[in-house]
Structure 1
Amino acid sequence: IFGVLGGRLSDKYGYVLVASSGLIASAIAFYGLSTITLESDLNFIILCEILFGFGAGLFIAPNTSSIMSSVPLSKRGVVSALRTISFNIGFVLSLNVAIISMVQFIPYDIASKLITAEGLITNSGGYSLTDLSNALTKSFAIQAIAMACAIPFTLTRGMRKRSI
C-alpha cells in the first residue's frame, strides 16, 4: 500500500522529497524501536513498525524510479539487475549488522536464531530478557544511524552533476 503511495507521490512531486521523507520516517521508526524496553507498550512497537513500512514504501518506489530514469532505455535491463543486486546485498548486510550488534549482549546462537526464526531458542547460558532487549535496541539504533546517514545523499541527489 505504502509503495504505491510512494510511487504516486514521486510521480507528482519528484523523487527527492518523497524518497528523503521515506528515509526520515524509517530512521525515526528504528530510533523509536531502539528505545523499547521490556515494559514498552505493544501499541508503540506496532506504531514504529507501521512507520517503518510507510517509510520503506515512500523510499523504494521513488528511489527505483530515479535510478531507472537516469539511464538510457537501452541500459535499463542491466541497471534494473544491478539495482536488484544492490538491494539484496543491502538486505543481507543489514542482517549481518543486526547479528554483529546483538552478539555484544547475547550469544551468537541466540541472535542468529532470532534473525532466521530457526528453531526453538533455549536459554542455557543464563541470559536474561533484559540482555535480549538490550541486544535488539542496540541493533535498531545502529540501523537508525545507517538510515540517517543516507538522508543527505538522497536530498542532494538531484544537485549532483552526471558524468555519463
Structure 2
Amino acid sequence: MDVNAFQTLVARITGEIAGAPLDSSLEAHLNAEHGPGSDTYEALAAACQLGAKEGWLCNREGGGIRYGRALKASDATHGFSVDVVDMEDIAGPHHAHPNGEIDLIMPLTPGARFDNYPAGWCVYAPGSAHRPTVAEGRALVLYLLPNGAIDFAAVAA
C-alpha cells in the first residue's frame, strides 16, 4: 500500500458518492453498503493502519493528535480531500464544515467512539460544526471533505 494505491481505494467510495447530498440518507447508505465487516471498510481500515504505521498517513502531530492530509481534493478523488487522524480519548479543535464532512470511524481500541459514533460512517451536513472527540479509547478517523473545505476559524456556538 502506498499513496497511489490508497487514492485508488478511496476513489471507489468518492466516485460512488460524488454529487450526493451530505445527509442521513448518505450516512445510512454508507453504513449499509460499506460499514464494518464489508470489504470496503476492512480495506480502508487496513490501509489507514498501515499508512499510519509507515508514516505516510498521520505524519503530523499537534495537541496530542496525529493527523495529516493524505490527498488534496482533485478529479482523482471526485473533488474530495482525504485526511486521516489518530486520536485517543481527546477532543480536537472546533471547526466548521462549509460543504459538509464524511467520516469513517475505525476504532483501534474495541468500543472507541468518535463524536459518540461507533465504528462505521457518520455524515455532517454543509454548515455544520463540531469539536471532534474520540472517547473510550483510540481510533483512526478518515475525513472526506468536499473541495477540501474546512474552517478552523469558526467560532464555537
Higher share of residues assigned strand? 2
**Is this a same-fold pair by TM over 0.5?**
no
Higher share of residues assigned helix? 1
Tell me the TM-score normalised to structure 2 length: 0.31
